[in-house]
Structure 1
């Protein structure tokens, strides 16, 4: 929130300079982002009055002005399109210095002498507006220094509030904080009830009490909106980052900045019958004040009349019922909208307004009547009019209710590391506007005011005491606690082990968003519906990911577009899938590989990575994790048919590996052979516990076996069959040749394997080994239809 330092000091004026004030606010937990002057550096600029105007004799776009400084008249040549006789504007006299150390001197413009300069807002550093002269009110005293008249020796302070501190989204709230920090009384403006002069009321009905427990309205007749808002109001709005529009809008914005209550003014003539606060009908249309037409959903709260919606509650009014210069009767509203009911609604329609910013964070539910009286008085002073009675629709049971909080003295000392005097704690709580209802032996019972919706539990009160006491005043203490060692299963592998090993294999870790493009995800994982976000950052980040491949392929595309052809990326993170009525978050490991098998170098063999390189990386990882993974043919929409395998552990499918499907590769605009893998982390992070086994001193026996099996038989099946009959002394099994074609026969292949046996305590004899070998051959024939190759 941006605010004027001068405005704040009208409420509370500590004896500290601007920088100290900003530091004090920051140290109280309200971070100051920026402090900047409200105007550029200039001097010698006064309020000038144009008493006469004549065309330039030698230039169509220039005019010769006679400008009074209150005592004498100066001739000034001016090219501004909005200059007129009787106008009051900033006048830089001879010797004045503008921004950039630009000194005003006598000059001749196309042969006519000019004794000074009439200024625009941009030339004074007030805004970027350079289209014409800055127009000052007729009441501006001629000859007065402009800095004094507009109070330009001021600073705009920009505070970056955390979402919980909605009470500080106003001058009133900030003044309350500064007053507490400096032990000063806040001088609030006296706001007296405005007496009604007519009894006209509007029919107000609330059909959504939970979303709108309190709604106030008032009719003000015979206003004159053709007048201009006073310069002091326009300046305060400008210094808060809000543009002046017309008196009705300016007053509601001013009250919002001053007190923290968003308000809205309707053109009474455009309201049909009365006001109805209700939920929108599905597809109901509303053209907003910014000209945008939206189609609303049923969960959107609206302000309607008896025939149509006229505003999106807490966000923006409708164009049809907006005030104009022709408006003669106003209907002024101030409401309390439940923060949950309006949260995210503005963003869901691509909007963000000062009102929605406040209502989403929580507005004081007792502030509406005070704001109505303040806005009424300001409007009457500026545009005149005749106020009616305040109409209030109220549901007490739907208003928030803050239960008293039990604050323990010992808990304050334990959390802050300091025993603060009871009297000082009570003083801090009282200065914060909290009420100590009942003293307890071990502490206090504290009632929370309506303007602090962020305080709901004991720790919140302790935080308040700590920040007001001063974080810098709290001692540095070492925490003391009794801790016991947590058991760590030896078979459980840390995730860091996975990351470190993949990095050692040449991979780089990527971290991508959990929010992904629904179209890309649908291509990669059409069988699972992504979970839509209620308030997405953008349309291409609107669903939660069901696979990590979506982000990795986008990252791969980014790298390839920057001439990085050899890419090895992995990511560990959560995927999000619907599980009944809930959401299941599953830890995953995924990777993408493309490019050369080895980095390009004169000594390295050339050749691109293939399926078996990636499979080898996973087998290397499984060895580190103490796992025995199996691979069997599989199918997946994102992977190439025939180049896709399921990864199996303990007869459970724990992942996939394969080449990307050509259609998906084209969709992502990727080049070259690309391979993907993805594993569920939970089942693969637990492996066997390493144990020592003594080396055998006795010789190893080797037997070679060549078998013919059908082409579709997997090596995993062959290995399982061999190990089932090879006995406990089998120490090794290797494939050293695969052959197809020739005299093997169509649809078949030959596998040549080496089997190794070794006994730990003696030498194996030939009869024992031959018996095991024969059992293996027999079992292969029975199980897989394998025959010995002659």
Structure 2
């Protein structure tokens, strides 16, 4: 929102000597972000004066028309002699008054003006256009001052062209639509500075008549709860927008188009009420306000043909849609240079409808920006009255006595506010009288009386005068955002001053640190990162077709998903039930951009809907929910266990002159699972890894991760069909594990360290290839007894000599006694016992035996 301070002064008595810094601080104190404050007097430096063109000599022989002008600038040039200036514009004649910048002046963009020879003549200065002065985009000709301008040659031109003003640019938050107007900002400044405010909407307006200004039918009173219109006939189409209005529009960043359209834009900026001007002669038959029908199209004023949907509101005549309601008008009914009969429309539209329509069509007009934030429904007739008066005063014509006003507006509901609630919530004492005073400043109607029951007035915050008293507050029509007691508390604090609210850091309770779950998640993340995995954070939203792409069975518990009510993307409206979908999407994106070697992990929540969960109960913000309300709300919230997942593809060890490297495979995913369990504090003897089967893993290359015989995760290579569907590299491997399913880590005992030397013995056992290596290892551990300190698989070998379906598993066994040096016979006996148990269980034989 950009507005000139001179415009604000019409409605609020700002101090004449108010510094721009104080103006900015006043707005910031009100919660309005100030982007910039520009003093236009400083944008053009040096002598900028009024000049009168004495004579013009047309210069020939050049590629474009050039004119040599003699301009009277009075005594501004120090001599009183006519100023010689070369100019290429053609829109002025001798006797016209123009704007001249003399040598030594500097235009916006640090463009310095001097005396120079050009086109064979000496030119001393420049005759300026609006664009050169930074007043607009018009560079088709120079500024010709109106004949009635009471200025003499040599007078300062800044006040005449509007360069003596200050322009404030503000960023308005979405809940303060009223501030997107001169009316709203002026009212706010009157609160901040304690100066009188004159409401531009506080003006008489002709009410609706039995005979409408134009026949209109509103078929959807939810999307449009008020529609008003007035007619002006016989307008002089040659009359241009007056300079004072163009200056204010330009300062606000709005382009001047034509007088009727400029009037609607001017009143939108002044009042906050968007309007539309129709060429009445181009409308065919009565108007109908309704939702769009399937297949309808509309070419809007920007020349774009738009396909409409059923949620869009449109204004139609007999030919079909002629305006995309509240967003932009249509080409077929726009005001032209020949328009003589103008139909002004001012309505009130549903903010949610307008916001969705603007985003759907990517058409963020100034009108839509205001509608989606909320517009005062009491403004249409006032805006029409002002528009009709401005048009008839400036361009003649006759205003019709008929006024259309279809009013279905429902008044805002009163809000019950405990008088001491601001004090208790904020920690500053606000007496009840002060609360009433501030709310009335906002424009609220406040009724005092009644006692609040069922709540301890001193339960929190600061006890205030009037504790127990209840206020009934009816918000003004221009504040649709005031719907809850918390909104009113915010207004009290804002107007009383945020600077009065103390900044107090809460005292941390002693002995509170990270929870066990937080410590576990950090340990897991640190462990994976130290092993070379890169952490990623993905969006928790997925597409409905993901479960089919992952090949999940029809009865898989990961198929039911929670649908988001207002998704960021209609293509991904569901919450994930597994981390693998978003994680594999990141893999595909990286591979598609040339990063072939990927090893990533994510720790995050998945969401499982509760069976039979309905809608959550409605809970306000004026009190603490009851235990029953908490329980009812919690029963609807989906279960959100915390998972960890990894995905890997490409080379895990790069190839080079040092060797062939190693491609990533299912074993790396399994090892990541082991690393997670180890970091989580689960002892290795409680962890089991065995063959399993679960989508989306390859049936023969999937491992189950168990803790105390309970499955907590899976790891392995993805199914080839999944790899093909998701366009992933071959042999892509993943692991997913439920961190919340892990038991609490046992108290870790200090390791027993023996000072005696170990005995190292290698064994190679030949077993069927279907026998899991982990089970063979478990048999060796059990058979070797207490002397076995460690066992590690260091080689897997298969050949024709071993036989079909057979493989060799080589283990390194470490034996050590805590109290003595082992004799060779003891170590061999323990080794033999371990091999014997493996032979008994799996038919294992020593390789080479």
Give the TM-score category using the shorter length. 0.7 to 0.9
| Counterpart for residue 495 of structure 1 | 521
TM-score of the superposed pair, with normalisation by structure 2: 0.77
Match of residue 436, structure 1, among 432, 442, 446: 446
Is 2:767–2:807's contact at 8 Å kept on the other side of the alignment?
A: yes
1:161 is aligned to 2:187: no
Is 1:197–1:386's contact at 8 Å kept on the other side of the alignment?
A: no
Aligned with 2:522: secondary structure? helix
Aligned with 1:742: secondary structure? coil
Q: CA RMSD in A?
A: 4.8
Is 1:590–1:676's contact at 8 Å kept on the other side of the alignment?
A: no
| Counterpart for residue 394 of structure 1 | 407
Match of residue 654, structure 1, among 702, 706, 713: 713
Alpha-carbon shift at residue 173 of structure 1 (Å): 0.8
Aligned with 1:63: secondary structure? strand
Deviates more, 1:648-657 or 1:256-265: 648-657
1:621 is aligned to 2:695: no
Alpha-carbon shift at residue 301 of structure 1 (Å): 2.2
Cα distance change, pair 596–550 in 1 and its aligned pair in 2 (3 A): closer
Separation of aligned partners in 1, 2:381 and 2:522: 59
Separation of aligned partners in 2, 1:105 and 1:699: 95
Write the deviation string for residues 357-392 of structure 1: whole angstroms up to 9, x where unpaired: 111122222222222222222222233333332212
1:323 is aligned to 2:335: yes
Is 1:598–1:605's contact at 8 Å kept on the other side of the alignment?
A: no
Report how many aligned residue pairs link the two structures.
774
Write the deviation string for residues 554-601 of structure 1: whole angstroms up to 9, x where unpaired: 67459857xxx8765433345679999999677543445567757999
Is 2:13–2:196's contact at 8 Å kept on the other side of the alignment?
A: no
Alpha-carbon shift at residue 767 of structure 1 (Å): 11
1:126 is aligned to 2:124: no
Map 1:216-615 → 2, pairs under 5 A: 216-388=228-400, 389-396=402-409, 399=410, 401-409=412-420, 411-440=421-450, 441-442=466-467, 443=469, 444-477=471-504, 479=506, 494-512=520-538, 547-549=581-583, 552-553=586-587, 556=590, 568-573=599-604, 587-593=642-648, 607-608=661-662, 610-611=664-665, 612-615=667-670
Separation of aligned partners in 1, 2:561 and 2:148: 63
Is 1:205–1:277's contact at 8 Å kept on the other side of the alignment?
A: yes
Is 2:277–2:343's contact at 8 Å kept on the other side of the alignment?
A: yes
Alpha-carbon shift at residue 287 of structure 1 (Å): 1.2
| Counterpart for residue 630 of structure 1 | 689
Write the deviation string for residues 245-290 of structure 1: whole angstroms up to 9, x where unpaired: 1122211111111111111122223333222222212232111111
Is 2:190–2:197's contact at 8 Å kept on the other side of the alignment?
A: yes
Separation of aligned partners in 2, 1:666 and 1:65: 75
Aligned with 1:266: secondary structure? strand
Separation of aligned partners in 2, 1:105 and 1:195: 59
1:80 is aligned to 2:137: no
Alpha-carbon shift at residue 425 of structure 1 (Å): 2.9
Is 2:650–2:664's contact at 8 Å kept on the other side of the alignment?
A: no
Separation of aligned partners in 2, 1:723 and 1:244: 88
The unaligned stretches of length 5 or more in structure 2 are 75-79, 451-465, 553-558, 616-636
1:147 is aligned to 2:168: no
Cα distance change, pair 446–403 in 1 and its aligned pair in 2 (3 A): closer
Is 1:121–1:129's contact at 8 Å kept on the other side of the alignment?
A: yes
Alpha-carbon shift at residue 174 of structure 1 (Å): 0.9
Alpha-carbon shift at residue 178 of structure 1 (Å): 0.7
Separation of aligned partners in 1, 2:811 and 2:505: 64
Alpha-carbon shift at residue 11 of structure 1 (Å): 1.7
The unaligned stretches of length 5 or more in structure 1 are none
Is 1:407–1:461's contact at 8 Å kept on the other side of the alignment?
A: no
Alpha-carbon shift at residue 175 of structure 1 (Å): 0.9
Separation of aligned partners in 2, 1:526 and 1:66: 85
Alpha-carbon shift at residue 99 of structure 1 (Å): 4.8
Is 1:523–1:664's contact at 8 Å kept on the other side of the alignment?
A: no
Separation of aligned partners in 2, 1:87 and 1:685: 88
Separation of aligned partners in 2, 1:450 and 1:485: 52
Deviates more, 1:23-32 or 1:435-444: 435-444
Separation of aligned partners in 2, 1:244 and 1:474: 45
Deviates more, 1:639-648 or 1:308-317: 639-648
Separation of aligned partners in 2, 1:311 and 1:703: 88
TM-score of the superposed pair, with normalisation by structure 1: 0.82
Alpha-carbon shift at residue 207 of structure 1 (Å): 2.0
Is 2:56–2:93's contact at 8 Å kept on the other side of the alignment?
A: yes
| Counterpart for residue 622 of structure 2 | none
Aligned with 1:157: secondary structure? strand
| Counterpart for residue 112 of structure 1 | 121
Aligned with 1:36: secondary structure? strand
| Counterpart for residue 745 of structure 1 | 803
Match of residue 46, structure 1, among 44, 49, 53: 49
Write the deviation string for residues 597-640 of structure 1: whole angstroms up to 9, x where unpaired: 579999x9873453234532332222111453636466867x88
Deviates more, 1:721-730 or 1:583-592: 721-730
Is 2:239–2:395's contact at 8 Å kept on the other side of the alignment?
A: yes
Separation of aligned partners in 2, 1:100 and 1:362: 38
Separation of aligned partners in 1, 2:330 and 2:779: 76
